[in-house]
Structure 1
Amino acid sequence: MEVAVLDINGKETGRKVTLSDSVFGVEPNNHAIYLDVKRYLANQRQGTHKSKERAEIAGSTRKIKKQKGTGTARAGSIKSPVFVGGGRIFGPRPKDYTQKLNKNVKRLARKSALTLKAKEQSVIVLEDFNFDAPKTKNFTNVLNALGLAGKKSLFVLGDTNNNVYLSSRNLKSSEVVTSSELSTYKIVNANSIVLLEGSLEGIESNLSK
């Protein structure tokens, strides 16, 4: 699959690159995408939720009223869950939500997601660029030139570039990652994938196995 290479002004450079069929032209596996997205979202959960149960409440253990003769239900402790300020019944406890997935399934999921984006013509190849200093306006100009302003976009760099990353950080609709940080969720979540030329070799070497 051949794609024209654009510059940061959104114009064609006259060059074309060939996207590998082993990454951008596979038979999409929707179930693999589902499993990998579910794993990613589950792994974002901290699992630190906790409420105090009866044994953890600070309070008197004195029997608050006599056992019989009051005409009401018996009660043994002010810490009982039936009283205001008492412990919580079956409250949440810390839990590890981490899920694991076979590396081959994760690789298939990413290739499937990239293939679907390529079929939708939502993949843009951009020549490598850099900014002299971190500035949101510079990154916004690139988005405007590519027609991606206000749309969810994912920029994939070959190597870490702090100036480009910091320039995009204030923009909620855009995200910048390196080829090694590429995940199925981020691919699916974006409307357009912008691949810098320097990232293509890394993506293909990571996924065409």
Structure 2
Amino acid sequence: MPSTTVYNMAGEAVEQLELSEQVFGVTPNMAVLHQVVTAQLVNRRQGNASTKTRAEVSGGNKKPYRQKGTGRARQGSTRAPQFRGGGTVFGPKPHPYHHDVPKKMRRLAIRSVLSDKVANQSLIIVNKLEMETPRTKDMLELLNKLPSSEGKKVLMMLPKRDENVVLSTRNIPSAKVQHVSSINVVELLKHDYIVMTPKTVRWIELVFGEGLSAEEATLKIADEATAAETSSEA
């Protein structure tokens, strides 16, 4: 079973966290990864490019010169494609670029990337990722304490939105904050290191390991946190 070190916000190793073999220990499927990444990038295209045909450009209602006797080729309109200001032949028109990928393939691709990150020690777990006030300097100090090499791109995945963390990170070009429900293959591959909390790991294991929906996983984690608090008080 794969495991990784859990750090505190001072950059100290505090414990080992066992990870799900089903999510973080699979053999990366490169063919599926390629297909999912291609589909995701294609789906970002808006397909808004548009050109006008000779029927759509303005003007050109009058025949430029008489049909015969000029020695020139016969022309019916100055808006034909060969004239300046004329229409475009076979130009782009708005159309969708959407490429569908089955849910099982998308989930396999995410498991493949996460497993690769664990195998390369690029997954960093922090026991909590919170800031009292939004401050870029504090976030830079935190990132420097963690085992993510300087100058590398870091993606921080939170189980719930933390405004102080978001504001502290937005001026750092090499770091990005994202909610765990927005997890996708392209963002995981773009960043060298992934920083998560144990709650984020648990959410991913519930969704991509046990097959729960995002809402069900969120509710289950909340119930587990409530049960843990109740047992500690008792």
- TM-score, scaled relative to structure 2: 0.83
> For structure 2, which runs of at least 5 residues remain unmatched after alignment?
212-234
- Identity across matched positions, percent: 36
Contiguous gaps of at least 5 residues in structure 1: none
> In the alignment, is residue 101 of structure 1 matched against residue 101 of structure 2?
yes
SS at match of 2:128: coil
Evaluate the alpha carbon distance shift between residue 11 and residue 72 of structure 1 in structure 2; reply closer, same or farther with a 3 A threshold: farther
Letter in 2 for 1:175: K
Matched, 1:82 2:88: no
Secondary structure of 1:121 counterpart: coil
Name the residue aligned to 2:176: 175
1:54 aligns with 2:54: yes
Matched pairs, number: 208
Q: Distance in 2 between matches of 1:112 and 1:192?
A: 15
Asked if the contact 2:157–2:179 (Cα under 8 Å) also holds between the matched residues in 1, the reply is yes
- 8 Å contact from structure 2 (residues 4, 118) kept in 1: no
Native 8 Å contact 2:50 2:93 kept in 1: yes
Distance 2:134 2:71 in 1: 74
Q: What is the rounded CA distance, in whole Å, between the counterparts of 1:68 and 1:152 in structure 2?
A: 70
- What letter is aligned with 2:127? E
Give the direction of change, closer, same or farther, for the CA distance of 1:91–1:156 in structure 2 (3 Å limit): same
The answer to whether the 8 A contact 2:11-2:145 is kept is: yes
AA aligned opposite 1:192? Y
Match of 1:185? 186
Distance apart, 1:17 and its partner CA: 0.8
C-alpha RMSD of the superposition: 1.6
Contact 1:140/1:149 (<8 A) preserved: no
- Matched residue type, 1:186: E
Answer with 118-127 or 71-80: which moved more: 71-80
| Distance (whole Å) between structure 2 residues aligned to residue 73 and residue 151 of structure 1 | 64
Match of 2:162 in 1: 161
1:39 is aligned with what amino acid?
A
1:5 corresponds to 2:6: yes
How far 1:170 moved relative to its partner? 2.9
Are the structure 2 counterparts of residues 172 and 53 from structure 1 closer, same or farther at C-alpha, using a change threshold of 3 Å? Answer: farther
**Residue in structure 2 matched with residue 15 of structure 1 by the alignment:** 15
Partner of 2:67: 67
The 10-residue stretch of structure 1 (110-119 or 73-82) with the greater mean CA deviation from structure 2: 73-82
Residue of structure 2 equivalent to 1:42: 42
Sort the Cα spacing of 1:88 and 1:172 in 2 relative to 1 into closer, same or farther, 3 A.
Answer: farther
Q: CA deviation at 1:149?
A: 3.8
- The answer to whether the 8 Å contact 2:24/2:118 transfers is yes
Q: What is the rounded CA distance, in whole Å, between the counterparts of 1:67 and 1:131 in structure 2? A: 80
User: Relative to structure 2, which stretch is displaced further, 34-43 or 127-136?
Assistant: 127-136
Matching residue of 1:205:
206
Using the size of structure 1 for normalisation, the TM-score is: 0.92
Higher relative contact order (CA closer than 8 Å, sequence separation 6+) = 1
What secondary structure sits across from 1:56 in the alignment? Answer: coil
